[in-house]
Amino acid sequence: MFTLASASGNSFAYAWDPLPGGGAAWARAVCPGRNLDGLFLLARPAAGAPWVLEHWDADGASTFCSNGTRAALAVPGAPPGMEVEVLSNGEPIRLRREGADVAIRMPSGPGTGFRPFPAPLEGPHAFGWVGNPQLVLERAGVAALDLGRLAPPLRNHPALPGGTNVNVLEVLEPGTARIRSWERGVEGETPCCGTGCAVAGAWLARRTGIRAWRLLAPGGAVAVTVEPEGEGWRELWLSGPVVAQGTFDPGPSLLS
Ligand X SMILES: N[C@@H](CCC[C@H](N)C(=O)O)C(=O)O
Among 67, 112, 167, 239, binds ligand X (CB under 6 A): 67
Residue 78 C-beta: closest distance to ligand X, Å: 17
| Residue 9 three-state SS | coil
Measure the CA–CA gap between 41 and 88, rounded to whole angstroms: 10
Cβ 236 vs Cβ 117: under 8 Å: no
User: How big is the chain, counted in residues?
Assistant: 256
Residue 180 binding ligand X, by CB under 6 A: no
Among 13, 41, 53, 65, binds ligand X (CB under 6 A): 65
Measure the CA–CA gap between 70 and 25, rounded to whole angstroms: 23
Residue 193 binding ligand X, by CB under 6 A: yes
Residue 132 binding ligand X, by CB under 6 A: yes
- Cross-strand bridge partners of residue 14: 3, 40
Residue 217 binding ligand X, by CB under 6 A: no
Among 74, 114, 183, 217, binds ligand X (CB under 6 A): 183
Measure the CA–CA gap between 189 and 166, rounded to whole angstroms: 9
Among 13, 53, 57, 74, binds ligand X (CB under 6 A): 57
Residue partners of 198: CB distance under 8 A and separation at least 6: 66, 106, 130, 134, 224, 236, 238
Size of the site for ligand X (CB under 6 A): 15
Smaller CB distance to ligand X: residue 182 or 253?
Answer: 182
Among 3, 66, 88, 239, binds ligand X (CB under 6 A): 66
Give contact residues for ligand X (rule: CB under 6 A): 10, 37, 57, 63, 65-67, 132, 165, 183-185, 193-195
